Amino acid sequence: MSKIEALKALVDQNCFKTFLVDNEIAVATGCLYPSNGSVTVYVSGGVDLCVVSDRGATAQTVEAHGIKVPDVARWLGPFCKQNGLRLEGNQITSPAIDVAHVPTLVSLVANTASIAARYALEKYSNEVGVKLIELLYDSLIVTFGRRNIAREVEVAGASNRIYHFDFQVGVERDRILFDHVNPHPSSINAKAAAHMDVGRRDDGPSHYLVYDKAAKWNTADIGFLQSLAQMIPVGRVDDIFQHRIQH
């Protein structure tokens, strides 16, 4: 039996679901990332001392949501420090521990990963949204003029439920609604509900979703949103509407 197989046998005794990956023991935990995917942590070392790590999966998961964290150390470092863990590059990792303490460290690393990921998506998706909204506002001013634009408007859907839209543009008795959306599931779900309900109104205004094309979007999510409202890359708002005005 190899060293890693012997370590796996010891970890398996604690009733974890484990499998070998690249000479490490992957442990599927009950903790969840914001996507509802299970947090998997990795145990490496020998039968005496070993290390538990997320192998950078937390940072990668947040990035996969289209969120760019400007300083990974500043984000993950405090979470690691308060739980007696270490940050090595973008990896949450434990100090070298006795194999008897693996169950505790597996839970600690997994919980830290889950909480840190949720914090990042709440904090940095909001910052990304603010930046996108300001870019959208600048584009709308160029195309329609500042006096024709209202910010943060309330609009009733076909169900009479009230929704908040980022902008309303009033031109020649018509009104056009604009919203920003990012790849975070909560943003997609909220915007989808609003645009679906408003789109069901018989007298519904034109409504558009503006997004950052460079963000890491899932093709299925783009297709879903396009079925509810026209999707426009943030940098092309003026181009598209100049074309509409001319034709």
Tens digits of per-residue pLDDT, 8-62? 666 666 656 788 777 888 888 888 887 777 888 999 887 778 899 999 999 988 8
Give the per-residue pLDDT at 96: 93
| Residue 174 confidence (pLDDT) | 73
Task: Give the chain's residues under pLDDT 70.
Answer: 1-16, 65-66, 125-126, 128, 171-173, 240-247
**Please, where in the chain does CATH 3.40.1350.10 lie?**
145-246
Provide the pLDDT for residue 42.
Answer: 92
- According to CATH, the topology of domain 3-123 is Yope Regulator; Chain: A, (3.30.1460)
d(CA 104, CA 91): 18
Q: 100 by DSSP, 3-state: which?
A: helix
Q: Output the average pLDDT for the chain.
A: 84
Q: Please, are residues 247 and 96 in contact by the beta-carbon 8 Å criterion?
A: no
Report whether 63 contacts 34 (CB < 8 A): no
> Using one digit for the tens of pLDDT, what is the confidence trace for 111-124?
999 999 988 877 77
Give the CATH fold of the 145-246 domain. Trna Endonuclease; Chain: A, domain 1 (3.40.1350)
Residue ranges, comma separated, of all CATH 3.30.1460 domains in the chain are: 3-123
The pTM of the full predicted model, rounded to 2 decimals, is: 0.58
pLDDT reported for residue 11? 67
Measured from the Cβ of residue 6, the count of other Cβ atoms closer than 10 Å reads 13
